[in-house]
Amino acid sequence: MMAVAAPASLAQSADQVRRAFLDLRDDKIPHNCEHATEWLFKYREQLKNDLVDELDKTDWQGRDAICHILWNVPSFQPDERFIRQTLQLLRSDDILNNAEEASKWLETQGDKIQPLLADELSKTDGQGRQEIFKLLKPSFVPDDRLARHLIEQMVETDTNDVDWRFVHDHFDVFEPLLAEAISKSRNRTHDMYLLWATTWVMKKRGQLDRYARIFTPNVLQAAAVHLRTDNQPSNAGWAVRFFLLLGDRSLETLRNVIRSEDAQARSLASAVIDGLGGSRKAFGYLQARVELSRTPFGPEVADPDWLAAAAAPYRDNDKLYQGGN
């Protein structure tokens, strides 16, 4: 390691600073990074230049600690290199809440970081993507290459309300890519969430009828698999809400499901069919089992006055659905 210039204050020798920088790194020694961070934080004003120099030499854990210290130096003037280092903290790692802290600091940097956010968006992971979406100005529109990269990443990783709000707000850019993703839907749990969320956004934008052709029998059958009993949380609920969004286009697939050997799949499919026919009893059953009011982002759907009473017979039990009004 290159020698560190001796700080002006005699309270900190070059050897002390060098030792502290080594202790910041991921070395599995309990609490040494914590203690080094506390010591460096105490002398952060005097050591700010040394901290900046160390940033390119340290590892992921050291970068987190140094960025945190420098965010709290009032006289520190961040340059592009430092902002890019901070952007890396938005990615998923083992340090609890550091992405949230980095995001709060980046918010204070104003418009000057917008081009850097867009550049990092093409490199970051799923967590970083979601944090950057929060920081980008509403006027930002991804180009075709970046949009394709984002959709490909979203297909392969978990998504959340931040992702789907961004997709909704830039629907014109994402719509052909979403249609392509739907046509390739597989039976993974995340694929069911992606299918439901995409369909919900299309309907919210008033575009669902335009995409009737992409909801092929193969796509519907892939969704129907998730109605079965399994160990995956929430996927049956996403499938139910998906079929309700599609309305009568779901009926043929659901009628095939009611012949399934899986009791849960039969029960849910029968209730969706009856629900599409207007049965309050069916909606009560579905509400008790999968909470129909959920949405990919924004406020939940308001429940009609009668829904709680209709759901009550199915709460806290394993009753299967029996048809009727």
Instruction: Read off φ and ψ for residue 87, nearest 5 degrees.
Output: -60, -30
Q: Read off the pTM.
A: 0.87
Dihedral over Cα of 141, 215, 197, 183: its sign: negative
pLDDT digits (tens, 9 = 90+) for 4-63: 444 444 457 899 999 999 999 999 899 999 999 999 999 999 999 999 999 999 999 999
pLDDT digits (tens, 9 = 90+) for 253-262: 999 999 999 9
Residue 187: per-residue pLDDT: 74
Cβ neighbours of residue 91 closer than 8 Å, sequence gap 6 or more: 99, 124, 125, 127, 128
Crossing angle of the two packed helices 280-290 and 235-246, in degrees rounded to 10 = 150
pLDDT in tens, the chain (325 residues): 334 444 444 457 899 999 999 999 999 899 999 999 999 999 999 999 999 999 999 999 999 999 999 999 999 999 999 999 999 999 999 898 999 999 999 999 999 999 999 999 999 999 999 999 999 999 999 999 999 999 999 999 889 999 999 999 999 999 999 988 888 777 778 899 999 999 999 999 999 999 888 999 999 999 999 999 998 889 999 999 999 999 999 999 999 999 999 999 999 999 999 999 999 999 999 999 999 999 999 999 999 999 999 999 999 999 999 886 6
* Residue 25, token pair as written in the block: 């790194």
Q: What is the DSSP letter of 90?
A: T
| Look-up of token digits 């550049």 | 119
- Asked if 148 and 177 count as a contact pair (C-beta separation under 8 A), the reply is yes
Q: How far is CA 103 from CA 90, 98, 253, in A?
A: 7, 8, 45
Q: How far apart, in whole angstroms, are the C-alpha atoms of residue 261 and residue 48?
A: 67
- Asked if 205 and 168 count as a contact pair (C-beta separation under 8 A), the reply is yes
Dihedral over Cα of 48, 53, 56, 58: its sign: negative
Burial classification of residue 172, based on how many CB atoms lie within 10 Å of its CB (0-12 exposed, 13-18 middle, 19 or more buried): exposed
